[in-house]
């Protein structure tokens, strides 16, 4: 059984690559865009973890900034989302310029 799985794994990886290529081709033919494309006309919302990764800080620092209302956020029930543009604007405001 294990030898069967080992022999099938390269085929499976190749199959996934083929399926991905087919889906991309279909989307391109119909004028659609793959899910990973940038949405320049819409604001992207990040989770707290994604925001922390984006600016390379701990999640607790993002949560503290939300609690202190230092950064804009949206609360949907228990979920907290941060607009990427608002987060980047907050960072721009934090830049210290020499006198």
Number of domains the chain contains: 2
Tell me, yes or no, if the pTM score tops 0.75: no
- pLDDT tens profile 6-50: 444 555 556 667 777 777 777 777 665 555 555 554 679 999 999
Distance CA(50)–CA(64), nearest Å, equals 15
pLDDT attached to residue 30: 65
Claim to verify: residue 61 and residue 90 sit in the same structural domain: yes
Q: Which residues of 65-90 are buried (b: 16+ CB within 10 A; e: fewer)?
A: bbeeeebebeeeeeebbbbeebbeee
- Answer whether residue 59 is part of any domain: yes
Residues 25 and 53 in one domain: no
Residue 38 placed within a domain: no
Tell me how far apart the alpha carbons of residues 94 and 86 are, in angstroms, rounded to a whole number. 12
Is residue 90 in some structural domain?
A: yes
Angle made by CA atoms 75, 51, 80, in degrees to the nearest 5: 10
Rounded-to-integer distance, Cα 48 and Cα 84, Å:
11
15 lies in which domain range? 1-32
């Amino acid at each position: 059984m294990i030898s069967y799985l080992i022999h099938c794994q390269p085929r499976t990886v190749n199959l996934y690559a083929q399926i991905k290529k087919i889906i991309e081709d279909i989307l391109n033919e119909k004028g659609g865009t793959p899910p990973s494309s940038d949405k320049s006309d819409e604001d992207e919302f990040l989770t707290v973890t994604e925001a922390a990764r984006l600016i390379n800080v701990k999640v607790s620092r993002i949560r503290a900034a939300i609690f202190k209302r230092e950064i804009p956020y949206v609360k949907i029930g228990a979920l907290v989302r941060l607009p990427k543009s608002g987060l980047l604007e907050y960072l721009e405001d934090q830049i210290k310029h020499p006198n």
